[in-house]
Amino acid sequence: MLDSTLNLNLLAAYARFEQSMGWRLGSYAKTVIYRSAKHHVCPTCGGPKRDSTSLCYSCTSLRQQAEALGVAHLMADRVRIANYAIKFDQMYRVMDGYKRNRPESKDYCETLKYVLGDALVVHWSCLTHTSDGVMPSAWATIPSTTTSERYGQPHPLNGLVSPMLNKTIPEVKLLANEQKHRAIAPSTFSLDGSYSDETLRHVLLIDDTWTSGGTAESASIMLKQSGAQRVTIYCLARIIDLDYCSRMIGQSVSDGYKQLTYRNGCPWDYDQCPMRNK
In order, the DSSP letters of 20-68 are HHHHHHTTT-EE--S--TTS-B-TTT--B--TTSSS-HHHHHHHHHHHH
Question: Is there a domain that residue 111 lies in?
Answer: yes
78 DSSP β-pair partners: 232
Question: Is there a domain that residue 225 lies in?
Answer: yes
Contact by Cβ (8 Å): 252, 106 = no
Whether the pLDDT of residue 238 is over 80: the answer is yes
Question: Is there a domain that residue 80 lies in?
Answer: yes
Q: How far apart are CA 203 and CA 224, in angstroms?
A: 9
Whether the pLDDT of residue 46 is over 60: the answer is yes
Question: Is there a domain that residue 268 lies in?
Answer: no
| Beta-sheet pairing, 138-141 with 202-210 | parallel
Query: What is the reported pLDDT for 180?
Result: 85
Q: E strand or H helix at 138, and its extent?
A: strand 138-141
Query: What is the reported pLDDT for 1?
Result: 38
Count of other CB atoms within 10 angstroms of residue 21: 20
Whether the pLDDT of residue 101 is over 90: the answer is no
Query: What is the reported pLDDT for 187?
Result: 96
pTM for the whole structure: 0.95
Whether the pLDDT of residue 36 is over 60: the answer is yes
- The pair phi, psi for residue 113, each rounded to 5°, is -65, -35
Query: What is the reported pLDDT for 274?
Result: 84
Query: What is the reported pLDDT for 105?
Result: 96
Residue 208's domain is classified under what CATH number? 3.40.50
Q: How far apart are CA 235 and CA 22, in angstroms?
A: 19
Query: What is the reported pLDDT for 277?
Result: 57
Question: Is there a domain that residue 195 lies in?
Answer: yes
Query: What is the reported pLDDT for 167?
Result: 92
User: Would you place residue 5 in the very low, low, confident or very high pLDDT band (cuts 50, 70, 90)?
Assistant: low
Q: How far apart are CA 144 and CA 133, in angstroms?
A: 32
CA distances (Å), origin 244, targets 1, 182, 210: 50, 17, 16
Query: What is the reported pLDDT for 198?
Result: 97
Using one digit for the tens of pLDDT, what is the confidence trace for 106-155? 999 999 999 999 999 999 999 999 999 999 999 999 999 999 888 988 89
Question: Is there a domain that residue 274 lies in?
Answer: no
Using one digit for the tens of pLDDT, what is the confidence trace for 166-195? 999 999 999 999 988 889 999 999 999 999
Percentage of residues of the chain with pLDDT beyond 70: 97
Domain that holds residue 103: 29-259
CA distances (Å), origin 265, targets 66, 83, 112, 138, 168: 32, 12, 16, 25, 23
The number of domains in the chain is 1
